[in-house]
Amino acid sequence: MRRFVSLWAVRRHASARSDREKLAVLSPFIRRMNGALGFVLAVAFLTAGDVLAQGITGAGATFPAPVYSSWGEDYARAGGPVLNYQALGSGAGVTQIINRTVDFGASDSPVAGERLQKEQLLQFPAVIGAVVVIVNIPGVDGSQVRLTGELLGEIYVGRIRLWNDPRILALNPGLRLPQIPISPAYRADSSGTTSIFTKYLSGVSAIFKERTGAGNAVAWRTGLGAPGNAGVAAAVKNIRGGIGYVEFAYAAESGLQTLMLSNGSGRFVSPTVPGFMEAAAQADWSKAENMAVSMLNMPGSSSWPIVSATYVLVPRNPRDPGSVQRVFQFFDWSFRNGAATADRLHYVMLPPAVQDRVRDQWAKLVVGGAPLWPAR
Amino acid sequence: MSIKAEQPAPLGRRRLHPADTSYRISLHTAGAVVVLVLLAILVIMFVGGRQAFDTFGLGFIWGSEWNPVTQIYGALPAITGTVLTSVLALTIAWPVGFGIAFFLTETCPQRLRGPLGVAVELLAAIPSIVYGMWGFFVLAPFMSEHVQPWLTSTFIWLPPVGDSFFWFTAPPIGVGLLTASLILAVMILPFIAATTRDVLLSTPQLLKDGAYAMGATRWEALTGVVIPAVRGSLFGAVFLGLGRALGETMAVVFVIGNAIRMPDSMMAPSATIASVVANSFPEAEPGTLDLAVLLGLGFILFVVSFGVLAIARLLLRQERMS
């Protein structure tokens, strides 16, 4: 840069003097000019940094990413700071907030109490979603197929291998289920969706709990893995006799056939938004530690059994209390104004009473003697 | 420039122009960077994967259980998947690649040589993700509808290996070892074909002319003169293809079925080292055993690929020396 400038200057000021002399004359000028340029650039960067610092940065779970992003756009349009949310996966979200590289982290599965304590994190639920089961059985309307969690667990450990297994037929007397193998599909990548689904199966199927267990990634005993929700959906579509699990938002968008599952009351239900709401309302928030509550296999007339909240993590000891406050303001605004957006994207808002509980948690966070959120 | 430098220096100790020196230094640096980066990667992977080797010992390589929930990791299923797909891909691609190369150098009409050669090389230019998606959306359904049921009914008489490996008796799910091997075969085909063609072209014309002068047919000239003359280089071409197949990631993730357990048939979903790392890496948190295991897997793959390439170089060099 400097050399380029000097060459240019030399050519412009061609005279009888030797090059060396010319450079000697010009060099202070060049130096000052570079200094000035540097100063301007530095100011520009600082200003840009200032603007960025006023925004909200978040990272983590891919599952709520569409609704967070849409809320962020709405919030910015309403005059709030810009949200920059990176859907890196739940694990990455937890890591990033532990390293304090973002204002908030997001995780589909709640972080354990000891870990929250150790890493000085506050956890609260932000929005509710559901996992649904999709099928591809030739000649059969998948939305009419009924399964219990127990049978689903046995399918996913490879104990039930054919669609016309007597135990499946007993649940579906009206359907002509063909004699073709069941091909379970699962997420190949580590995923919060897998975590919710396996937690549900571990709760309702003893053999699944024993042989596979719950986690973001588990040792599947049968079936095939495909990357992402789209991969699982495509695998089920491709394979005759396929079965798989995806987020409801994804299934609803792509018009997949979702089967009926039995819920906590033993009723067979199809996945519907009112059913998710009923499950969320059933959950017992009063005993929830760190706001982590199970909404799996809830009783009710329409409660869908695989419903879960997704969580947000903020530091309890922020370097800049304003950054946490901005996160609270964003979610408070979204709780109050985000219902239409959430509905459009097939997510479920937290019940109003739970929203108030979340705000109470915020109000308990005191940094430097001042609470970060006004108490009710 | 000083007067001293203009005096002729004794031969061999002549002082170089500064530009020469800096040129030489920059070239040496460029060369050193390759070696340093290679060593650094190897060391980092080993250090990062150390925890896995310490925890499981040799069981990390021989263990067949891969369970993120109980935190027991054995790499054998992934190693098996890697080796099976690569070897099968090679078995499919090598004869075809050799056929293409022989056709291009010997029997192909002169007008077609250019376009055909380019077409083969273009296969190598297709991004692997495109192969993966094509494999997943086109090849896999085709396999499950037509190829796999036929294979199952045709080879049902094959006796199983032990009581856990049933060759082609499996539900036709489209993805799995066989489909992944086919995709890999297509992907390594251009490498094998292009390298083989170059090797065949490098055969001294005198040798071939001699063979034809003796009244040899094209086949006799090929098998009796050309192949023996370049045998080592041909192996080298094959091993280059194998090296590529071992490390291929994105295409494999789409078509292998991502099941980290020992396969029970040639059509069973499986996993390769590269596909396991690609799937699990985004959520592996720093400092955990999960990450150490993935880095350890990377180290194993590195060592295997390095071994394969070393053999390829050795064979190619033997050829050049003889």
- b/e map A346-355, b = 16+ CB within 10 Å: bbbbbeeebb
Closest listed residue to residue A185, CA positions, set A246, A248, A142, A141 = A246
Question: How confident is the model at residue A59, as a pLDDT?
Answer: 93
Residue type, A115: R
Question: How confident is the model at residue B317, as a pLDDT?
Answer: 75
Under an 8 A CB cutoff, do B283 and A217 touch?
Answer: yes
Q: Please, which pLDDT band fits residue B106 given cuts at 50, 70 and 90?
A: confident
Under an 8 A CB cutoff, do A88 and B137 touch?
Answer: no
Interface residue ranges in chain A relative to chain B, Cβ cutoff 8 Å? 88-92, 94-95, 181, 183, 188-191, 212-221, 223-227, 231, 234-235, 238-242
Question: How confident is the model at residue A9, as a pLDDT?
Answer: 40
Q: How far apart are CA A281 and CA A297, in angstroms?
A: 13
Question: How confident is the model at residue A137, as a pLDDT?
Answer: 94
| Residue whose entry in the numeric block shows the structure tokens 């379970």 | A184
Closest listed residue to residue A140, CA positions, set A164, A114, A113, A108 = A164
CA A130 from chain center: how many Å?
12
Percent of chain B topping pLDDT 70? 94
B133 near A CB under 8 A: no
Question: How confident is the model at residue B322, as a pLDDT?
Answer: 59
Contact assessment for residue A323 and residue A365, using Cβ atoms and an 8 Å cutoff = no
Under an 8 A CB cutoff, do B137 and A234 touch?
Answer: yes
Question: How confident is the model at residue A63, as a pLDDT?
Answer: 84
Average pLDDT over residues B246-252: 91
Closest listed residue to residue B229, CA positions, set B320, B313, B311 = B320
Characterise B174 by phi-psi region: left (phi > 0), alpha (psi -120 to 50), beta (else).
left
Under an 8 A CB cutoff, do B69 and A212 touch?
Answer: yes
Q: Between B315 and B181, where is the model more confident?
A: B181
Q: Please, which pLDDT band fits residue A4 given cuts at 50, 70 and 90?
A: very low
Average pLDDT over residues A195-201: 94
Q: Please, which pLDDT band fits residue A367 given cuts at 50, 70 and 90?
A: confident
Average pLDDT over residues A50-74: 83
Helical ranges in chain A per DSSP H: 2-12, 19-54, 65-77, 90-98, 113-119, 149-157, 166-171, 192-204, 206-211, 228-238, 248-254, 273-282, 321-337, 339-344, 352-363
Q: Between B10 and A284, where is the model more confident?
A: A284
Percent of chain A topping pLDDT 90? 56
- What are the angstrom distances between the C-alpha of A357 and each of A114, A342, A362? 21, 20, 9
Q: Please, which pLDDT band fits residue A337 given cuts at 50, 70 and 90?
A: very high
Characterise A371 by phi-psi region: left (phi > 0), alpha (psi -120 to 50), beta (else).
beta
Q: Please, which pLDDT band fits residue B281 given cuts at 50, 70 and 90?
A: confident
Question: How confident is the model at residue B7, as a pLDDT?
Answer: 58
Question: How confident is the model at residue B13, as a pLDDT?
Answer: 58
Lowest mean pLDDT among A120-129, A333-342, B146-155, B164-173: B164-173
Q: Percentages helix, strand, coil for chain A, rounded to the nearest 5?
A: 45, 20, 35
* In the predicted structure, residue B275 carries a pLDDT above the cut 90: yes
Q: What is the pTM of this model?
A: 0.81
Min CA distance, B289 vs chain A (Å)?
14
Long-range contacts of the stretch B17-25 (C-beta < 8 A, 24+): none
Question: How confident is the model at residue A342, as a pLDDT?
Answer: 92
Question: How confident is the model at residue B11, as a pLDDT?
Answer: 57
Q: Between A257 and B309, where is the model more confident?
A: A257
Mutation choice for B interface testing from A101, A209, A240 by most B CBs within 10 A? A240
Contact residues, chain A, for B279 at CB < 8 Å: 188-190, 225, 227
Where would I find the beta strands (DSSP E) of chain B?
66-67, 72-73
Contact assessment for residue B107 and residue B294, using Cβ atoms and an 8 Å cutoff = no
Per the DSSP assignment, residues forming a β-bridge with A245 are A133
Question: How confident is the model at residue B14, as a pLDDT?
Answer: 65
Contact assessment for residue A178 and residue A164, using Cβ atoms and an 8 Å cutoff = yes
For residue B148, give both structure tokens: 């796999």
Residue type, B132: G
pLDDT digits (tens, 9 = 90+) for A113-160: 899 999 999 999 999 999 999 999 999 999 999 999 999 999 999 999
Question: How confident is the model at residue B12, as a pLDDT?
Answer: 57
Average pLDDT over residues B296-305: 91
Under an 8 A CB cutoff, do A94 and B285 touch?
Answer: yes
Q: Between B170 and B62, where is the model more confident?
A: B62
Closest listed residue to residue B276, CA positions, set B135, B87, B56, B74 = B74
pLDDT digits (tens, 9 = 90+) for A224-273: 999 888 889 989 988 999 999 999 988 887 778 999 999 999 999 999 98
Per the DSSP assignment, residues forming a β-bridge with A128 are A309, A348
Mean of all residue pLDDT scores within chain A:
84
* In the predicted structure, residue B316 carries a pLDDT above the cut 80: no
* In the predicted structure, residue A42 carries a pLDDT above the cut 80: no
- What are the angstrom distances between the C-alpha of A186 and each of A108, A228, A263, B258? 17, 9, 22, 9
* SS3 category, A189: coil
Q: How far apart are CA B111 and CA A271, in angstroms?
A: 63
Under an 8 A CB cutoff, do A92 and B282 touch?
Answer: yes
Min CA distance, B50 vs chain A (Å)?
22
- What are the angstrom distances between the C-alpha of B320 and each of A58, A313, B173? 58, 63, 47
Contact assessment for residue B257 and residue B176, using Cβ atoms and an 8 Å cutoff = yes
Q: Which residue of A has its CA nearest to B67?
A: A219
Q: Please, which pLDDT band fits residue B8 given cuts at 50, 70 and 90?
A: low
CA B69 from chain center: how many Å?
32
